[in-house]
Amino acid sequence: MEQKFKREIRSLEKIFDFISGFSTANRIGDSDVFVIKFVVEEIFTNMVKYNSMSNKDILVSLRRHSNTLSISLIDFDVDPFDLTKTEEVDIHQSLRERKVGGLGLHLVKKMVDKVDYEYKNRESRVTLTKTLEK
């Protein structure tokens, strides 16, 4: 199931409805739905915030394969940003010592099993793979 959403933060409400509909149809539990919404919100928000020069919609795709969920977000007509190569956040540092930024992506990486990034023809694709609870 996939759908395009306008490149604006207020699209998140429609995205959450899209995720809820998919999750209900695929009998995905509440704890997994929470994770799905969180990671999609984080990636979508970053795409809107950091690729503001593009006016293209962002495609969100959800696919279930047995007990695995594949979540893809595709951003069109943008420069590359490989989130798989971002610095690890040292969560053990005090807040005063910690560099600002990166915590959201850190949490995304911890909440899913796999993060893939692909960039081709000015299209940026982030694919997250999550094993669903039984």
Question: What is the reported pLDDT for 97?
Answer: 59
Q: What is the model's pTM?
A: 0.86
Q: What is the dihedral of CA 9, 41, 5, 116, to 10 degrees?
A: 130
On average, the pLDDT of the chain sits at: 88
Q: Which amino acid is at 32?
A: D
Phi-psi category of 13—alpha, beta or left, where left has phi over 0 and alpha has psi -120 to 50? alpha
Give the Cβ contact number of residue 6 at 10 Å. Answer: 13
Helices and strands per DSSP (H, E), number in the chain: 3, 5
CA dist list (Å): 59 to 18, 47, 91, 93: 12, 11, 31, 36
| Average pLDDT rounded to a whole number, residues 53-65 | 94
Higher pLDDT, 46 or 51: 46
